[in-house]
Amino acid sequence: MRLKHSRIARVLAALAAVAIALPPSLPVAASPAMEKLFFILKAKGSLTQDEYDMLVAAARADEKDKERPAPATASAPAAQTPNTSALEKRLSQTESKVGNLENVLTNTRGQIEDISKITDNTSPATMSKSELDALLADKWYERLKMKGYLQVRSHSLMHEDGGPFHSQNDSLANSQSSIGIRRGRVTFSGDLTNHLYLYLQADFFGSVSATNGTQNFVQARDYYADVSLDPAREHRIRLGLSKVPYGHSNLQSSQNRLALERAEATNTAVEGERDLGIYYMWAPYEIRERFKGLVSMGLRGSGDYGLVAIGAYGGQGLNRPDTNGQPHWLARVTYPFEFDNGQFLELGISGYAGRFTTTTAAIPGVGTPANVAGRGLTDTRVGIAATLYPQPFGIETEWNWGKGPQLSNDMRTITSASLSGGYVQASYRHVFASQKEFIPFVRWQTYNGGRKFAANAPKDKVNEVGVGFRFIPYPEVEFTAMFMHGMRTNTAVAPYNSVSYDYLGLQAQVNF
């Protein structure tokens, strides 16, 4: 009974407070305005559905009572006495709750005039999304959206010859690990205003390593703002920690990529794919929509980084400060063509130039290599990319050339040396009538050059063929299997032997 009385009191208190809050200039529109106000309170959680229904019914009954002529009898006032006494008794029992609801209504009193304009007998009984957005326009936190994904992965190293196997991109791919979380991403993003977009992404388990003891379970992956320079948002400035706009696969989300990891040839340019920087990006509205469509249609595009992007970044990698006072300069141009038959082809070229400061460590029997450049070594690349999106057949390829830090053959000095490499991937996308998807793919990758982000920047040689598939039974769940055979340098442990290997990777991905 106490709960029932409490709800009745809240209803009566709200009616009384609304009657006080409504301006006297709105006698006819009071009931529609109150209904709109009750809807807002319900949407904000101040009223339950039952309370909302009761309030609306009471307001409508009150409006009918106003329109009905009063009975011309002397007994009318006496008949109202019991109801008035009951009302006063219930209100006196809930004075504290009346005060609380009056405070809520006071905060929304400034909205009553706007509500009365909306409910001028020409608007629907419930608020549209645009109307609600207008009323909450000053609350930027209402615009933020949360999303993310989880990748649980299992590896089976079937064969290794020449030393311990090491994959620079996947710390779980080794003989000591069987199952683990490869990525646990949580993202908050949204247009805070018409000119400001915010993107924040954290990775849980992003730096967990079974080989070097690293146990940084939470890591910042992105934290940047896009400042639009025009109403159409075709021109924008990106500030903060974000992906470096170089290549295609580096920009492609790991949530969308078919292969378990990116190819070394392009990923060695920016391991972790991110750095602190500032970029100018431009793309016409139509092209921006096309970039987004290549992702939303399930074609696994790289996202919207502009048709043209130019800028500067620290150059030392993800969550690492610049150490030589000289930024890397970058430029990228890409264009997604759409043919008459609906097929998409994206072509791009990108490049950067700067100086990179390597880290050094003692090599058994050799000592610590000497770095010939005090303020960093020449680090320049140019790359080309071409992607024929799977409709249903697809092919994706990238190649890059340049110079970067590399350990000498005698392992005594680190200088800048030539590098080159790339990959080719073919795929077929089949969508069943039930909207399930099956995407088999094959990828060949090769690289010959220094791995600048590893201690001593050892020379890295990779030649690998991978075959796999991705099965998507539901939009929220994806399964990937990939078998890899090849040869690569173990760049984690001196003397940096070449290792031949066969291993199988299995992954379950959950999207939300």
Q: What is the pTM of this model?
A: 0.73
Name the H helices within 109-245: 112-118, 129-135
Residues 124 and 154 in one domain: no
Residues 55 and 71 in one domain: yes
Spatial separation of the C-alpha atoms in residues 275 and 380, rounded to whole Å: 16
CATH number for position 382: 2.40.160.10
Q: Strand, coil or helix: what is 66?
A: helix
**What pLDDT digit, counting tens, does each position of 386-430 carry?**
999 999 999 999 999 999 999 999 999 999 999 999 999 999 999
Provide φ and ψ at 22, rounded to 5°: -70, 135
Q: ω into residue 495 within 30 of 0, thus cis?
A: yes
Give the Cβ contact number of residue 80 at 10 Å. Answer: 10
Give every CB contact of residue 504 below 8 A, 6+ residues apart in sequence: 155, 156, 158, 481, 482, 483, 484
Residues 361 and 462 in one domain: yes
Residues 398 and 362 in one domain: yes
Identify whether the C-beta of residue 494 lies closer than 8 Å to the C-beta of residue 473: no
Residues 375 and 243 in one domain: yes
Choose one of 101, 135, 169: the last residue of a domain. Answer: 135
Spatial separation of the C-alpha atoms in residues 185 and 219, rounded to whole Å: 10
Identify whether the C-beta of residue 1 lies closer than 8 Å to the C-beta of residue 89: no
Q: Strand, coil or helix: what is 142?
A: helix
Write out the two tokens for 345.
């082809």
Residues 75 and 211 in one domain: no
Residues 121 and 231 in one domain: no
Give every CB contact of residue 42 below 8 A, 6+ residues apart in sequence: 48, 49, 51, 52
Residues 159 and 295 in one domain: yes
Number of domains in the chain: 2
**What pLDDT digit, counting tens, does each position of 214-259 carry?**
555 788 999 999 999 998 899 999 999 999 999 999 999 999 999 9
* The residue to which tokens 């559905």 are assigned: 49
Give every CB contact of residue 138 below 8 A, 6+ residues apart in sequence: none
Residues spanned by the domain of 231 = 140-511
pLDDT in tens, the chain (512 residues): 444 444 444 544 555 444 444 444 444 344 566 666 676 666 555 566 766 777 777 767 666 665 555 555 444 444 444 456 665 665 566 555 555 555 545 544 444 444 433 333 432 324 556 765 676 567 777 778 999 999 999 988 899 999 888 888 887 777 666 788 999 999 999 888 888 999 999 998 765 544 444 555 788 999 999 999 998 899 999 999 999 999 999 999 999 999 999 999 999 999 999 999 999 999 999 999 999 999 999 999 999 999 999 999 999 999 998 889 999 999 999 999 999 999 999 999 999 999 999 999 999 999 999 877 678 999 999 999 999 999 999 999 999 999 999 999 999 999 999 999 999 999 999 999 999 999 999 999 999 999 999 999 999 999 999 999 999 999 999 999 999 999 999 999 999 999 999 999 999 999 99
Residues 159 and 125 in one domain: no
